[in-house]
A and B are shown apart, each in its own frame.
Chain A
C-alpha cells in the first residue's frame, strides 16, 4: 500500500504517460469524459464520480477500423491478357488488409468499481468463442487503475448487482483519503506499473483506507436506489416478463434515441459499415443501439418494428437474456448514467421499480 498527495497527481500522470498511453477523465468543453492524457491536459475532473460516457471506449471504441479492402478494376480491353484467379480472368480484384491490433500497453486511470465490473460483462461477449481479437488485444494491453467512490451519488445503484464501490477489483485499486490518494496494486500488471512510478509514492498504512471503506458503505446504505430488488429478473424469466403489459405503460415517452446505450458501460451491440476511400473501402465497426428503428430492419420489414418492442428488448436483454446466456450475470452494473442522461427521464431503475410494484399488486 502506497500513497501520493492528490496535488501531485499530475506528476504521477506525466510519469505514467511518458511510458505508455494514459487514459483518464478529462474536462473538455464543460464535460468529463475519458480521454488520452497529454502534458497540460485539464485533469480538474480526475476525481469526478461519473464521466458522461463510461471508459468502455478504451476497450471497445465507439468507432474502429477493422480492415481495408483495396479494389482494382481491370479495364475491359486489358481483360484478355489480365491476371487470373481460380482459372477465371479477374475483372474486379479485391485485397484485404487487416487493421493492426493494439500492441502496446496502456493505462486507464479512474475507472470506478461499476465500470470495472462492466469490463467483465464485455468480456463475456467478446472473449467467448469465437474471440474478438480487436477487443482481446486491448484487454491484454490495458492496465486498469480503479478508484473507490469517495462520494457516491443518488443515481448510483451498483450494490444491487453485488458490486462494492469501496473495493474495486482492478489491476490497481486507489482510494481518496483526506489530501492523499492511496494506491494498492492487486495484480501482476498492477505491480509492474507500480514499480515504475514507486519513487513518487510514500509507504502507507492499510488501516487508513478501512475507515474510507466504512464511510462509503454507510453512504451507499443511504442512497435511494441501492435497495432495489431484482426479484423476478434473471435467467429463465423470459415468459414471465416478455408478455407483461407493464412494457406498454413504460415505453411511451421513449424518443428512440441512443443516449442510454451510448453512455452505458455494458451495451455492446455494434454495426459494421463501409467508407469508400480513394482506392478501396475501409470497413469499420461502430456502436449501434437497439433503440434505433433500423437496428433490426430487413428488406422485408421485420423485426421489432415498434418502439415498444425495442424498448422491451433493451431491458429484457440486460436483465433476462444476458443472465440466461452468461451464467446469471446481469448486463447492468448500476452506474446510473442512463438515470442521469435519458432525455425523457426513463431508465432501468424505473423499469425495475415498475415491475416491482406490479409484483406487489400496486399500480404501475
Chain B
C-alpha cells in the first residue's frame, strides 16, 4: 500500500492531478471511508485494503466538475461503472485520471463479525496480505479464511481486468468461484407463490433509507422521481405494500441495461436485502434475449434496451 500512497503523492506533486479520490483510514480496523485528498500531507491517511469495497465511480460525477483533474482509485469492477457513467455523459473523462488498483476481492465485515464481537484489530487484509485474516478481539483472537469473508459479489467476480485505466497498480485476482446466475436460477425455479413470499420477506425489512439508490452509480438522475415534491406520496413512508412492490422494482427497471452488477446496493443495505437479485435477473434476461451484454465493458457499445433491431423479441416473452 505504501507504494500506492507514494505513487499518488507523486501524481499530486508532479501536477498530473490536483486531487485524489481514494479511501481514508477509519477509526476502526475495518471502516475506511471514501475521501478526497488535496495534498501529500492529507494522503498520509490514505488506505487501501480489503475493506475498501466502496465503488468510487459515482463520486466522480461531482469530482470531475471541479477545476483540474481528479485521480480516482478504481478496482476492476468499479471500472465498469465508470465506463457506464462515461457512456451516460455523467462524468467528464478528460478531467479524470484513473489509477486502476489491484483487487483480490473485498471483505464483508458482517461475515467476519458473525459470532465475533469486540474487534480491536484485523490484519492480513492488504492486497499482498495472506489467505488468512487474523481478527483480534477483546474476547480472544481468531482467524478467518479470506475467501470466507468475501462480499457475495466477489464470488461472482467479473474478472481481474480493468475496463479503463490510465495506469495500473498492483495485481488483481479473479475471485469468482460461483456461477453468476446461480442465485437467479434458484429463484426462477420457485413457484410464483414461493417467489413472492421470498421477496415479500426480504423487502418487508426495507426501512426506506434510500442508501441503495444513493450509492448506485446507475442512479445518477439529478432529481429522483421518488424525491419529487410535486406528488405527495414520495419516499419515506415504508408502507409495506409500496416497499414490496414498487420502490425497488421501479428502481430495478430504471437501471435495467445500465446496471453493471457492481453490487453496491446489496453491500450498503442496512437490512441485508439482496437487492442485486432484481438487477441480475434483468441482466440474465437481456443476455438471453439479445445476446451477452455487459454494461460498462465498452463505453461505446450500444445497450440492447436502447437499440432496436428486427430480431428483437416480441413483448410478452418471459425470461
What residues of chain A have their CB less than 8 Å away from a CB belonging to chain B? 28-31, 33, 49, 52-53, 62-63, 151-155, 219, 222-224, 252-253, 255-259, 261-263, 271, 273-275, 284, 286-289, 292-294, 297, 339, 341, 343-346, 349-350, 353, 363
B205 and A31 contact, CB distance less than 8 A: yes
B230 to chain A, nearest CB (A): 11
> Restricting to B261-318, which residues have a CB under 8 Å from any CB of A?
267-268, 270-273
Identify A263's interface contact among B214, B227, B270, CB under 8 A. B270
Determine how close the nearest CB of chain A comes to the CB of B241; give it in whole angstroms: 11
Q: Which of B28-36, B169-177, B179-187, B188-196 contacts A (4 or more CB under 8 A)?
A: B28-36
Contact with A along B108-128 (1 / 0, CB 8 A): 000000000111100000000
Closest residue of chain A to B116 (Cβ to Cβ) is A153
- Beyond A255-B211, A259-B211, A294-B227, whether A152 also contacts B33 by CB under 8 A is no
**Could you tell me the distance between the alpha carbons of A350 and B25 in the complex, rounded to whole angstroms?**
11
Knowing A154-B120, A344-B34, say if A257 contacts B272 (CB, 8 Å). Answer: no
Q: Is the CB of A154 within 8 A of B117?
A: yes
User: A297–B59 Cα gap in the complex (Å)?
Assistant: 24
Question: Could you pull out 23 A-B pairs where Cβ atoms are within 8 angstroms?
Answer: A30-B272, A52-B270, A62-B238, A151-B139, A152-B117, A224-B120, A255-B211, A257-B209, A258-B209, A259-B207, A259-B211, A259-B270, A262-B270, A273-B232, A273-B233, A286-B237, A287-B236, A288-B236, A292-B227, A297-B229, A344-B33, A344-B34, A363-B41
Q: CB within 8 Å of A: which residues of B? A: 26-28, 31-36, 41-42, 44, 54, 59, 117-120, 137-139, 201-202, 204-205, 207-211, 213-215, 227, 229, 232-239, 267-268, 270-273
- B277 CB to closest chain A CB (Å) equals 12
Q: Say which residue of B36, B215, B234, B235 sits within 8 Å of A252 (CB atoms).
A: B36
Say which residue of B54, B229, B239, B270 sits within 8 Å of A341 (CB atoms): B270
Report Cα–Cα, A68/B300, bound state, in Å. 54
Give the contacting residue for A273; candidates B139, B202, B237, B271; CB below 8 A: B237
Could you tell me the distance between the alpha carbons of A115 and B239 in the complex, rounded to whole angstroms? Answer: 24
Chain B residues whose C-beta falls within 8 Å of the C-beta of A222 in the assembled complex: 118, 138
CB of A243 to closest CB in B, whole Å: 21
A293 touching B227 by the CB < 8 A rule?
Answer: yes
Q: Which residue of B lies closest to A274 (CB)?
A: B232
Q: Which residues of B contact A256 (CB under 8 A)?
A: 214
Asked if A29 contacts B202 (CB within 8 A), the reply is yes
Closest Cβ neighbor of B30 among chain A residues: A345
